[in-house]
Amino acid sequence: MTPLASYLLVAALVFAIGLAGALVRRNAILVLIGIELMLNAANLNFIAFWRYGPHPEALTGMMFAIFSIAVAAAEAAVGLGLVISIYRHAQTTDLDKMNRMKG
Amino acid sequence: MSPVFYLVSAMTVAGALAAVLLKPLVHCALAVTVAFAGLAFLFLSLDAQFAGFAQILVYIGAVAILIVFAILLTKGSELPRDGVFSRSWLAGVVISAAVFAALGWAILRSAWTLPHETAVPAVTVHDIGVALVDRYVLPLEIVALLLTAATIGAVIVAMHEKEGVK
């Protein structure tokens, strides 16, 4: 197996684990952790294609990964702020118990 | 592939699995930090030093701390009585297994047509800095605006509600 395929397989595995975490856990913070894992797996793909693809000096994959890290950080800040706000309102972070749109 | 790759991949996958499966939330936060560190090492093994160190700074330095803060502020360290997994956990496991099967099938089928450049890219942090203020200056400014807006928005969303105002 080529090195690129090995890295892509690891990224696919981390993505699937993150997706499972976002889908099966009840706690909203764990769902955010799963989303972060999925974003990281995508970053690994960008970096792996940048390393083994032609023209690495154009820096496209690298730049996409760097911007993606910055956007993921902003997403984590807003997401955890929302979780804290909902917790203060409903006294729970259990997503199965948050089943009404009315406040 | 070198043994280092297998070791770091095993550490990343084990950290991610532990983060999803462990019951106490604080343990999950620690496990996901291990997974982030493993991904940073994978970046470094791909000769992407800047992205690797940015990953360590942003994820281990900031996001992990933020997750721990959120867990402690929401009393998430207490175990819920009715289990940590959702009622529809079986569907979630099946969907993610199907996604992994599809991705793995696509990768293995195309493994021999993927590009394979052996030369180590001669890219320094200097080149990345020049590219950021030259070709990628507009995305850089937009990300700066996004980070400012997201930080202010997070503070406003999480700010304490006034008494009697909903």
Residues in chain A: 103
What's the pTM?
0.91
Contact B58 A84 (CB under 8 A): no
Nearest CB to B153 within list A23, A30, A78: A78
Average pLDDT for A55-65: 89
User: What is the C-alpha separation between B137 and B143, in angstroms, rounded?
Assistant: 10
Scan for tokens 């090195």, then name that residue: A3
Contact B154 A19 (CB under 8 A): no
pLDDT for the residue B73: 87
pLDDT for the residue B120: 81
Please report, for residues A1, A5, B9, B12, B53, the alpha-carbon distance to residue A14 in angstroms, rounded to integers and kept in the order given.
19, 14, 10, 8, 20
* Cβ atoms of B85 and A27 closer than 8 Å: no
- B160 CB neighbours in chain A (<8 A) are 88
**Domain range annotation of chain A:** 26-90
CATH number belonging to the domain at B1-79, selected among 3.40.50.620, 1.10.3720.10, 1.10.10.10, 1.20.120.1200: 1.20.120.1200
- Calculate the CA B122 to chain-centre distance: 26
pLDDT category of residue A98 using cuts at 50, 70 and 90: confident
Going residue by residue through chain B, which has 166 residues, state the pLDDT in tens, using 9 for 90 and above: 789 999 999 999 999 999 999 988 899 999 999 999 999 999 999 989 999 999 999 999 999 999 999 999 887 667 777 777 888 889 999 999 999 999 999 999 988 888 877 778 888 889 999 999 999 999 999 999 999 999 999 999 888 766 555 4
A59 and B CB contact within 8 Å:
yes
* Cβ atoms of B72 and A73 closer than 8 Å: no
Contact B39 A65 (CB under 8 A): no
pLDDT for the residue A103: 61
Between A57 and A71, residue with greater pLDDT: A71
Contact A7 B92 (CB under 8 A): no
CA distance B88 to chain A (A): 7
Q: Tokens standing for B91?
A: 């569907």
* Test the B interface: residue of A47, A67, A95, A102 with most B CBs within 10 Å: A47
Contact A56 B17 (CB under 8 A): no
**Domain range annotation of chain B:** 1-79, 122-166
B154 and A CB contact within 8 Å:
yes
Average pLDDT for A59-67: 92
Average pLDDT for A85-94: 84
Nearest CB to A71 within list B112, B128, B146: B146
pLDDT at position A1 over 60: yes
What residues contact B103, with CB distance under 8 A and at least 6 apart? A12, A15, A16
Please report, for residues B12, B38, B54, B56, the alpha-carbon distance to residue B4 in angstroms, rounded to integers and kept in the order given.
12, 11, 21, 18
